[in-house]
């Protein structure tokens, strides 16, 4: 019975000591903080190549590149302590990656469960760099749609004495904003 308790303590101590080794990929230095800035410039649409090279070097220095490229495998659920340490490191790397991206890009990829899933975006430059463009285009379309609906509601609410100006306004390409339509009606 004494041996079993001793063995359990010994294996826990081995894991603890393993993570205390600065060469172990799950080692966390006291300076490894979520708010640490690894990249002076965030990823934006036009600096992808430089960003990838710089981020690769920074993660290599921190001995955490394996969380992104998949060489540091996620432990099984039975390896509770190692899984907890892996989750800590994974979340830390995710915060570093997200913190090094523009708000538009990070907001689009924050849903990724682990740092390795971000690698698929990392590998696909076109997908990653098109996210901000897609976001801006979607936002512009939504604003345009809302504005169009406001203009349509305004025009359709006019009484029949404004039928001619309503018809002429509806023929305009693009449909004017509600303020411009109002000015035309006046």
The per-residue pLDDT for range 121-173, each reduced to its tens digit, is: 666 655 555 555 665 666 667 777 788 888 888 889 989 998 999 899 988 88
Question: Pick the residue with more confidence: 110 or 80?
Answer: 80
Q: How confident is the model at residue 71 (pLDDT cuts 50, 70, 90)?
A: very high
Domain boundaries, the chain: 2-123, 135-185
Dihedral sign for Cα 87, 72, 19, 9, please: positive
Tell whether the model's pLDDT for residue 66 goes beyond 90: yes
pTM of the model: 0.61
pLDDT tens for 1-30 read: 444 444 444 455 555 568 889 999 999 998
Query: Which residue is it, tokens 């430089």?
Result: 50
């Amino acid at each position: 019975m004494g041996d079993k308790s001793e063995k359990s303590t010994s294996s826990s101590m081995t894991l603890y000591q393993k993570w205390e080794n600065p060469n172990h990929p799950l080692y966390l230095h006291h300076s490894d903080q979520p708010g640490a800035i690894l990249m002076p410039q965030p990823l934006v649409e036009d600096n992808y190549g430089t960003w990838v090279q710089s981020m690769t070097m920074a993660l290599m220095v921190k001995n955490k590149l394996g969380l992104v490229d998949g060489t540091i495998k996620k432990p099984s659920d039975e390896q509770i302590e190692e899984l907890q340490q892996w989750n800590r490191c994974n979340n830390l790397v995710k915060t570093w990656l997200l913190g090094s991206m523009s708000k538009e890009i990070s907001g689009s990829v924050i849903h990724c469960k682990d740092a390795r899933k971000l690698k698929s975006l990392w590998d696909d430059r076109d997908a990653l760099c098109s996210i901000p463009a897609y976001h801006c285009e979607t936002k512009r379309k939504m604003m345009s749609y809302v504005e169009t609906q406001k203009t349509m509601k305004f025009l359709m609410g006019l009484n029949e004495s404004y039928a001619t100006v309503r018809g002429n306004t509806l023929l305009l390409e693009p449909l004017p904003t509600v303020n411009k339509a109002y000015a035309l009606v006046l």
